C-alpha cells in the first residue's frame, strides 16, 4: 500500500485548483448521506490519495460537492443505473463502474452487471488499473 501511495504522489498532476484531502469527520458525514459504511481500506484511500489527479481514470472524491467525481453524486447515478446498493462506486469509467463491496473487494460493474473482474482491495485496484491505464 505504501508503495502505491508513494507512486501516486509522484505521478500527481498539477491542476489549477488542487483537491483537498478529507478528514474522518467528513467521511462520517458522507457515510450518513450514503446510508452505508465505507470499508476500512476505501476509507484509507479517500484519506490519503483522493486528491491525486493522474491519467484518464478519475476515482471518486469527497471534499467538493460541485465536482463530477463527488462520491454521493457518483453513487446516486451508479445506483440508479442498477449497481447493487451494497457496492460503493470507486471510479466511473464511461458507463462502467469500479465499485467497492463491504468486504473491501473491488469489482467491475459493466454493461449493467457485475463482471468476473475483481481486485482484493482498493490498493490492488489502484496499482493494477489506475496506475496501469
Beta-bridged to residue 114, according to DSSP, are: 109
| Separation of alpha carbons 123 and 45, rounded Å | 8
DSSP symbols for 1-52: -HHHHHHHHHHPPP-SS------HHHHHHHHHHHTSPPPHHHHHHHHHHTT-
| CATH code where residue 68 lies | 3.40.1580.10
Assessment of whether the complete model's pTM goes beyond 0.75: yes
Instruction: Tell me which residue range forms the domain holding 51.
Output: 2-130
In this prediction, residue 17 carries a pLDDT of: 87
Q: What would the grid cell of residue 123 be?
A: 490498493
- Tell me the pLDDT tens digit for each residue of 60-108: 999 999 999 999 999 999 999 999 999 999 999 999 999 999 999 999 9
- Tell me the pLDDT tens digit for each residue of 5-46: 999 999 999 999 888 999 999 999 999 999 999 999 999 999
| Separation of alpha carbons 49 and 62, rounded Å | 11
pLDDT tier, 133 (very low <50, low <70, confident <90, very high otherwise): confident
Number of domains in the chain: 1
Amino acid at each position: 500500500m505504501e508503495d502505491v501511495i508513494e507512486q501516486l504522489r509522484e505521478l500527481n498532476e498539477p491542476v489549477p485548483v488542487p483537491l483537498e484531502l478529507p478528514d474522518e469527520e467528513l467521511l462520517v458525514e458522507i457515510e450518513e448521506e450514503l446510508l452505508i459504511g465505507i470499508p476500512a481500506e476505501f476509507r484509507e484511500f479517500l484519506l490519503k490519495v483522493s486528491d491525486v489527479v493522474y491519467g484518464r481514470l478519475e476515482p471518486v472524491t469527497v471534499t467538493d460537492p460541485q465536482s463530477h467525481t463527488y462520491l454521493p453524486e457518483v453513487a446516486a447515478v451508479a445506483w440508479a443505473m442498477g449497481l447493487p446498493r451494497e457496492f460503493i462506486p470507486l471510479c466511473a469509467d464511461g458507463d462502467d463502474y469500479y465499485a467497492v463491496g463491504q468486504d473491501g473487494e473491488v469489482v467491475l460493474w459493466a454493461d449493467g452487471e457485475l463482471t468476473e473482474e475483481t481486485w482484493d482491495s482498493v490498493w490492488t485496484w489502484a496499482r493494477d488499473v489506475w496506475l496501469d491505464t
